[in-house]
Amino acid sequence: MYALRERRAQHEEKIKHCKSLVTLARRMPPEVLAKIFLHCVEDGWTHGPLVLSMVCSSWRYAVRNYPRVWSHIHVNMEEHDPITRTRYWLSMARQAPLHVNLIANIETSELPIVLDILLEQASRWRSFSVTSASLRKTNNILSQCKYVMPDLREVSITTDVEVDDVVAAGTTELDGFRESFRDAPLLRKLTLTSNALHTTGLIPIQVEDLSIHLPEPRRIDLPMSGSSILHVLEGLPNLKHFTLTLPPHHEPQYIPERDLARRIFLGNLESMLLCVPPDVNGLMVHIVAPKLRSLQIRSNLDPLVRPHDLTGASLRELLEQSDPPIELLELHDVDLTDDDYIHCLRVLDDLKELRLHESEISDSVIRLLRGPRGYCPRLTRLDLRWCGQLTGSTLVEVVRSRLAVDDHPSLNSSEPIAEVAVMNCCFVEEQDVMDLAKVTVCRLVLRETEDYCRSRGCCTNARYRQRLRLRHNIGFGGTDHVQLLL
């Protein structure tokens, strides 16, 4: 017995000594490790390859033998010796497609050299991002991008207008696009973060996805021009997706388009997201978009205490002159009158999802959705939050009515409501929620993806959900046939 114990102790000592050799990280195939490392780099860990190669020999092998781990070229001109760093990163990336991220916030003589090194590999660029605190430096960088870029898909620009830019260059235009990226046939997505919007006719016409974010100015507060925005859109005949956003509570001076009869035709536009002060929604009057399927209108300011007439009138005009097949309509912190709601819902025959946040929509309007032949026959999802006038009994009535079988089915027959989200609606009581959950899916939590309220933190009703769960024994076998998402 003593001999067995001694042998066991010897084996345990060997296992302890070699334990690191049998871990999952050591036994994992190098290609799987490389895939994990690539995800880390894609999430913004710019120095990941260097750090990971210092852990152990197997990790170092995975990093050094899979060039895609090095394909994200992050160059910060404020760091030490960016020239050597850039050359080393490119050598390790070998022939992998490149995702170039250039940060140039300071004046340095090394910038032209670094840019030349990167442009030598322009044929391998998959995406290109520029961040600079100076519009003048940004324009200088962009003006050099005249090479053939057969694989470039996405460009992102982050810049700002400073006093020095106006004095030195005499302009607040982002004109570095002039003659640049013309030989990038696959370029589809452009993201602009800048308070300079005067880019008329300069954005490459092949762009299909345009996102404009107007940050809070650091020094110069430029007015926001409706005419400039329309000029940008007018020069993009292939545009499919358009996003215009401002940070919360930022309300710059807005100059609307003076020509009320002006119209721009966006024949390929499929989605539009506006997160702006409500007065900017007047842009919709000037847009004709016959293929528009998704329209999301959000206010970046605090909710108004009354319906916003300009938004309602502009939305009605957009629907009348475009007759678009809208499937998703979202109104967040901007409300309409009952007349505007009725007019819009009457013509939205293709609507599949309706999202309302901080709305005073009345029961009489919601009842227009009743089946079997109500408004919006294709509607299957309702998302209602902070709706102060809506009663739960009306909502239950509408959902049940759309379950009824139409004796004479046609294209106008209402489809059943597949899901209802109800949050912080003061006249929707617990029993109404339980009644809804018996006839359809009733959700009391945020959507798992693409939920704007997640970043705002305005619809976290954890206590209410916990109380409802305990009171009705939900999840403990006490409630059957209830489709409730808590």
| Most trustworthy range by pLDDT among 102-116, 139-153, 263-277, 469-483 | 263-277
What residue type is 158 in one-letter code?
A: T
With respect to residue 178, please indicate whether it lies within any of the assigned structural domains: yes
3-32: average pLDDT: 76
Give residue-wise pLDDT tens across range 176-201: 888 889 899 999 999 999 876 655 55
422-431: average pLDDT: 93
> In terms of domains, do 80 and 211 share one?
yes
pLDDT of residue 52: 77
CA distances from 88 to 40, 61, 73, 248 (A): 20, 17, 10, 41
pLDDT of residue 479: 58
pLDDT of residue 200: 56
> In terms of domains, do 136 and 56 share one?
no
308-314: average pLDDT: 96
Last residue of a domain, which of 222, 248, 274? Answer: 222
Query: How sure is the predictor about 208, in pLDDT bands with cuts at 50, 70 and 90?
Result: very high
Query: For a pLDDT cut of 90, what percent of the chain falls above it?
Result: 56
CB atoms within 10 A of CB 268: 16
pLDDT beyond 90 at 315: yes
> In terms of domains, do 187 and 83 share one?
yes
Last residue of a domain, which of 40, 68, 96? Answer: 68
CB 190 within 8 A of CB 155: yes
- Domain span holding position 37: 23-68
| Most trustworthy range by pLDDT among 104-113, 190-199, 312-321, 472-481 | 312-321
Mean pLDDT estimate for the chain: 88
pLDDT of residue 167: 43
Who wins on pLDDT, 196 or 81? 81
> In terms of domains, do 201 and 164 share one?
yes
Give residue-wise pLDDT tens across range 122-179: 999 999 999 998 888 888 899 899 999 999 999 999 988 765 555 444 456 777 888 8
Give residue-wise pLDDT tens across range 450-464: 899 998 888 888 888
> In terms of domains, do 35 and 105 share one?
no
Who wins on pLDDT, 126 or 33? 126
DSSP strand E in 42-175: where? 72-76, 98-103, 125-131, 154-158
> In terms of domains, do 113 and 194 share one?
yes
Give residue-wise pLDDT tens across range 41-72: 888 787 878 787 787 777 788 788 888 888 88
Give residue-wise pLDDT tens across range 239-248: 999 999 999 9
pLDDT beyond 70 at 22: no
CB atoms within 10 A of CB 6: 10
> In terms of domains, do 107 and 206 share one?
yes
CB 436 within 8 A of CB 421: no
Give the separation between CA 429 and CA 48, rounded to whole angstroms. 51
With respect to residue 168, please indicate whether it lies within any of the assigned structural domains: yes
> In terms of domains, do 105 and 28 share one?
no
CA 253 to chain centre: 25
- Lookup: tokens for 335: 């409300």
Last residue of a domain, which of 222, 245, 261? Answer: 222
pLDDT of residue 45: 81
Give residue-wise pLDDT tens across range 339-364: 999 999 999 999 999 999 999 999 99
223-234: average pLDDT: 90
Rounded to 10 degrees, the C-alpha dihedral 328/331/332/336 comes to -170
pLDDT of residue 404: 79
Q: Count how many domains the chain has.
A: 2
pLDDT of residue 218: 62
With respect to residue 467, please indicate whether it lies within any of the assigned structural domains: no
86-112: average pLDDT: 90
Who wins on pLDDT, 443 or 221? 443
> In terms of domains, do 76 and 197 share one?
yes
Among the listed ranges 15-29, 79-93, 275-289, 431-445, which one has the minimum average pLDDT value? Answer: 15-29
Q: DSSP readout, 352-391? A: -EEEEES----HHHHGGG-SSS-SSTT--EEEEES-SS-B
